[in-house]
Amino acid sequence: MSVDATKVIPTPTPLEPGTVQPVTLRPATAADAPALALVGAATFLEAFTWMLPGADIVAHCAEQHSAALYARFLAAPDTRITLATSGADAPVGYAMLAAPDLPTFAVLPTDIELKRIYLFSRFRTAPVVGHPGLRPAQALLNAVIADARALGRTRLLLGTHANNLRAVSFYRRNGFAEAGTRTFQVGAQVCCDLIFAKPI
Ligand SMILES: CC(C)(COP(=O)(O)OP(=O)(O)OC[C@H]1O[C@@H](n2cnc3c(N)ncnc32)[C@H](O)[C@@H]1OP(=O)(O)O)[C@@H](O)C(=O)NCCC(=O)NCCS
């Protein structure tokens, strides 16, 4: 069988030990639903092995990180997803802004929810293309805030587990303050989350 030389991927230069490939941010489009499903499930798994039973992580990802669900989110008028990629557009993280779904909270029409912000741990200290000096999580949050303002929203809400200390520190450092609580189902587990809010 002949090989199409134009399709052969050149052998990549090996990474020096300790180096991290740079991260690029870009808006996700409808074509990214499968990439979001993959990075959504994988980063959720990496983030919560310490807290949740495996069966609940698997059930949650099958339900909440399907390509079909991301396609529905991407088609909604208030959804904006920023994808973090590395190498040749391989997804390594993302942040998702969407219409608030916080039934126990007095949501205002000018609110919007940061539903998800996830990065593989290996890429959290990577340089971000076009954003010298910024870490990827900060660059993602800045993109989320810019999108929320462009949608005319004036307050950013989010829910996170109180024991997710790294995320809580990140949100507090970025000016989010505790504003309420909610319950959040992951598989068979019912988690009690804190709701944080930030005027933008
Ligand atoms: C949340 C997330 C995007 C933040 O990105 P990040 O690169 O880790 O953020 P930063 O390193 O800038 O900030 C984390 C802060 O937590 C602190 N921290 C780290 N481990 C901690 C711990 N065990 N207890 C308390 N604080 C901790 C860090 O010191 C840092 O605070 P500081 O810079 O003010 O000192 C990233 O951690 C992530 O993807 N986590 C997994 C997914 C997740 O939990 N998403 C949020 C779900 S709601």
Q: Which residue shows structure tokens 């608030």?
A: 100
**Closest ligand 1 atom number to CA of residue 166:** 16
What CATH number is associated with residue 50?
Answer: 3.40.630.30
| Mean per-residue pLDDT, 111-131 | 97
Within-domain flag for 194: no
pLDDT of residue 16: 84
pLDDT of residue 186: 87
Supply the mean pLDDT for the chain: 95
Within-domain flag for 10: no
Instruction: Using pLDDT thresholds of 50, 70 and 90, give the confidence band for residue 1.
Output: low
Q: Which residue shows structure tokens 């890429």?
A: 123
Within-domain flag for 4: no
pLDDT of residue 65: 98
Cα of 168 vs centre of ligand 1, distance in Å, is: 7
| pLDDT tens digits for range 31-72 | 999 999 999 999 999 999 999 999 999 999 999 999 999 999
Cα of 116 vs centre of ligand 1, distance in Å, is: 14
pLDDT of residue 112 exceeding 90, the answer is yes
Instruction: Using pLDDT thresholds of 50, 70 and 90, give the confidence band for residue 20.
Output: confident
Mutation test of ligand 1: which of 170, 181, 196 has the most ligand atoms closer than 8 Å to its C-beta? 170
- Where b means 16+ CB within 10 Å and e means fewer, 34-62 reads ebbbebbbbbbbebbeeebeeebbebbbe
| Mean per-residue pLDDT, 4-25 | 84
**Closest ligand 1 atom number to CA of residue 161:** 48
pLDDT of residue 9 exceeding 80, the answer is no
pLDDT of residue 3: 80
Within-domain flag for 140: yes
Comparing 81 with 189, the larger pLDDT belongs to: 81
Instruction: Using pLDDT thresholds of 50, 70 and 90, give the confidence band for residue 187.
Output: confident
Cα of 161 vs centre of ligand 1, distance in Å, is: 13
Mutation test of ligand 1: which of 52, 160, 166 has the most ligand atoms closer than 8 Å to its C-beta? 166
Within-domain flag for 45: yes
* DSSP state letter for 57: H
* Residue 187 and residue 164 in contact, taking contact as beta carbons nearer than 8 Å: no
Domain range enclosing 69: 24-154
Predicted structure pTM score:
0.94
Number of domains in the chain: 1
Within-domain flag for 99: yes
Q: For residue 138, count CB atoms less than 10 angstroms from its CB and return exposed for 0-12, middle for 13-18, buried for 19 or more.
A: middle
Ligand 1 site residues (CB inside 6 A) read: 47, 117-119, 124, 135, 137, 160, 164-167, 169-170, 173
Within-domain flag for 36: yes
Cα of 22 vs centre of ligand 1, distance in Å, is: 19
d(CA 112, CA 98): 6
Within-domain flag for 2: no
